[in-house]
């Protein structure tokens, strides 16, 4: 498999899993790589994706999570159900206001971790993009050097370009997720972390 920007940040996201976490929701799970990592920690994981073909591929691999073919914007999420909710490059596929339902689905002390994408709009965005280019090239070469030749990529989730700027995301998050932190990352990503008050 070629270098994947989202997979690169799995460890960063796993460090946000709260102690004693029993239940998790992975939104836009794709083929389930991150959901399986959560399940390997002994966490009961619900993994949701609107693309039927990727859920079928995820179920074929198994690994512990309960996979659901569903649109998160149409789901009735139980209030206070999850200790941890993750969104890896998926929140820009739905209205940002969807985070309010995710917030409410967190148990007291639960954590919402969003690895999000943003478009380049400001000079700072372009500077970060410029810095990411050599790191991206090096990472791709390193992965290519260790990958068996001719290996098929497999099923891929549909892709949509992000529309909200990082500044717009910060404003919306301040209103919907008070106290959330947002940090810009390499590879055209940001990390939003919100902890529901206990």
CB 72 within 8 A of CB 98: yes
pLDDT of 25 reads: 99
pLDDT of 156 reads: 63
pLDDT of 125 reads: 66
Which residues have CB under 8 Å from 180's CB, separation 6+? Answer: 112, 173, 174, 192, 193, 194
Residue 98 has pLDDT above 60, yes or no: yes
CATH number of 5-119+156-195: 3.40.50.150
How big is the CA angle at 58 (ends 4 and 71), to the nearest 5 degrees? Answer: 90
**What token pair was written down for 129?**
């993009």
Domain ranges of the chain: 5-119+156-195
pLDDT of 121 reads: 72
CB 143 within 8 A of CB 2: yes
Task: Identify the band that residue 91 occupies on the pLDDT scale cut at 50, 70 and 90.
Answer: very high
- Digit-coded pLDDT (tens) for 106-163: 999 999 999 998 877 777 766 666 666 655 555 555 555 566 655 445 666 666 678 8
- Digit-coded pLDDT (tens) for 15-53: 999 999 999 999 999 999 999 999 999 999 999 999 999
């Amino acid at each position: 498999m070629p270098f994947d920007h989202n997979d690169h940040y799995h460890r960063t996201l796993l460090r946000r899993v709260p102690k004693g976490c029993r239940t998790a929701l992975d939104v836009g799970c794709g083929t389930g790589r991150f959901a399986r990592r959560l399940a390997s920690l002994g966490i009961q994981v619900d993994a949701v994706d609107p693309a039927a073909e990727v859920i079928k591929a995820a179920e074929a691999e198994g690994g512990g999570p309960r996979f659901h073919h569903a649109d998160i914007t149409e789901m009735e999420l139980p209030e206070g159900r999850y200790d941890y909710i993750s969104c890896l490059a998926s929140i820009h596929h739905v209205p940002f206001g969807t985070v309010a339902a995710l917030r409410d689905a967190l148990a007291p002390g639960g954590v919402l971790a969003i690895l999000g994408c943003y478009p380049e709009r400001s000079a700072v965005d372009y500077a970060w993009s410029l810095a990411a280019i050599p790191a991206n090239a090096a990472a791709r070469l390193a992965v290519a050097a260790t990958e068996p030749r001719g290996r098929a990529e497999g099923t891929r989730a549909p892709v949509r370009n992000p529309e909200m700027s990082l500044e717009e995301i910060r404003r919306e998050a301040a209103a919907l997720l008070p106290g959330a932190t947002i940090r810009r990352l390499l590879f055209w990503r940001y990390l939003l972390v919100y902890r529901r008050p206990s």
